[in-house]
Amino acid sequence: MGQLFAVEIIYRGVFQKTLAKGICRGIVLAAHEEGKPGISFGRYGDSPERNGIPAKSFAIVASDEQTLEAGMAQYEPKQVDVAVVLDDTLCKGAESWGWYGLERVNRSVKPGGTLIVVSLQEAKDLLKVIHKTEQPYKLGTVKGIASFSGMWVYKDDHTDVRVLGAIAKALPELVSLASVERFIQEKLKNELKVTSAHLACERFSTINVKPGQGNGEKPFHFELPGWHKMRAGVAIDGLVERGGPYADPVTGQVGGFRPARNEKFKKYTTRTMRPVVNFATCTKCTLCWLNCPDASFDVTPDGTYDANLQSCCGCGICEAVCPVPNCITMVGESGFHDNASQWEAFRKDKTAYTAWLKTVIAPAGDRSHGFRYRGQYKEQIATALEVAKG
């Protein structure tokens, strides 16, 4: 039996589907330049892909056809030589449609394998949120802004070829930079992309992550019942209690309404941005509460609305319907490390909360995903390429 290599791409469903597929295809076709057979495919369990849901695509390459066939016999690779994370907010963990619970992004990386993250952050900073593992691995970044577009729209900002260049540096036994460059020249026919791949390969570096190094928080998980334990006609307990009023953390006054939520269905890993609420300017108009597609807002005892960040998927509808300027602002998820209640923080120290709002909202900038008018992505490509050059 020959040598088998596996790469997984962890991406945001719909937003990065075409990008992930293109990278996997590029790996296989570049390997073909060296006479190595390979195949790329998506994970069936991640369908349907709701906007932002964590999903995976795979590429497997072998030294010969027989080894490839043996690798294809698996539903998906259990261990991979390289894992690529196309959005650094996924470093907090990924929960797809395929299972219950939060999966570490380094879960499938072989001992000594490489985790590559597209991010403006340094690798050592990403370790603050990447869950620790009991095996050593390498961590590196491809410098860039997460490339979001959509299922039918592609943002051609060279993220695809830059990731291919980084893979060639991380695992030249899988595919060489020369083969990546030939693939780009023959299939993509873009010399500027050849340059981008070359620069990414040249600049890519990794740090060694030791066993036990990283975020020590235990990811939430659920024990799924085996087929022999399922009750007739029931797969999971989907019903929850109605919910009810709850107490103000300062006065103890009971009021408002917090719906009970299914503990087996958390959606926050879909989020690239989160709503930040200025409770001091809230007019209690109810629009965020009424329009949230996931019923993520709690009615507080004082009549304002608090986003439940365990349930919020970050769609941004609340920001769009809020009639008060800057009362609800969508802010990049990378700057947050928990899902604590914003309203409770506001109630406990209004002065500190107001000061915190200024530090969080001011640098928020434009929405990181979704486009508002035709041609918007084309306008953003120049900026993305400048970031890549830096």
DSSP character string of 224-277? PPPGGGPPTT-SS-------EEEE-TTT--EEEEE----TT---GGG-SEEEEE
Peptide bond into 48 cis (omega under 30): yes
Taking alpha carbons only, the member of 166, 195, 173, 182 closest to residue 30 is 182
Q: CA 307, CA 145: separation in Å to the nearest integer?
A: 26
The reply to whether 217 and 250 lie within a common domain is no
Is the same domain home to 193 and 106?
Answer: yes
Cβ-based neighbour number of residue 174 at 10 Å: 23
Within-domain flag for 372: no
CB neighbourhood size of 118 (10 A): 24
Give me the domain span that covers residue 111: 4-222
Residue 371 counted as domain residue: no
- 210 and 290 share one domain: no
Q: Show Cβ contacts of residue 287 under 8 Å, excluding neighbours closer than 6 positions.
A: 318, 321, 322, 323
Whether 196 and 281 map to the same domain: the answer is: no
pLDDT for 390 equals 66
CA atoms within 13 A on the CB side of 375: 0
Contact 342, 304 (CB under 8 A): no
**Looking at the structure, do residues 218 and 357 belong to the same domain, yes or no?**
no
pTM beyond 0.95, yes or no: no
Q: Are residues 196 and 289 in the same domain?
A: no
Residues 155 and 86 in one domain: yes
The CATH number given to whatever domain includes residue 104 is 3.40.920.10
On whether residue 387 sits in a domain, the answer given is no
Q: Is 297 helix (H, G, I), strand (E, B) or coil?
A: strand
* CATH code (residue 309): 3.30.70.20
- Residues 250 and 343 placed together within one structural domain of the fold: yes
Please check whether residues 282 and 214 belong to one and the same domain: no
Number of structural domains (the chain) is 2
Instruction: For residue 179, tell me if it sits in a domain.
Output: yes
Tens-digit pLDDT string for the chain (390 aa): 799 999 999 999 888 999 999 999 999 999 999 999 999 998 766 666 667 888 899 999 999 999 998 888 877 888 999 999 999 999 998 876 656 678 899 999 999 999 999 999 999 999 999 999 999 999 999 999 899 887 777 889 999 999 999 999 999 999 999 999 999 999 999 999 999 999 999 999 999 999 999 999 988 877 766 667 666 655 555 556 788 999 999 999 999 999 988 777 777 888 888 999 999 999 999 999 999 988 999 999 999 999 999 889 888 899 989 999 889 999 888 888 889 999 999 999 999 999 999 888 865 556 555 556 667 777 777 877 777 676
Whether 379 maps to a domain, the answer reads no
Alpha helices by DSSP H, listed for the chain, are 17-32, 65-72, 123-126, 159-170, 177-183, 191-203, 287-291, 317-321, 342-348, 350-361, 376-389
| One-letter-per-residue 3-state SS of 270-296 | HCCEEEEECCCCCCCCCHHHHHCCCCC
Q: How far apart, in whole angstroms, are the C-alpha atoms of residue 117 and residue 105?
A: 10
Token pair for residue 97? Answer: 């449609």
Co-location of 174 and 309 in the same domain: no
Is 175 part of a structural domain of the chain? yes
User: Do 172 and 256 belong together in one domain?
Assistant: no
Whether 317 is covered by a domain: the verdict is yes
Same structural domain, 149 and 83? yes
Residue 88 lies in a domain: yes
DSSP code, position 21: H
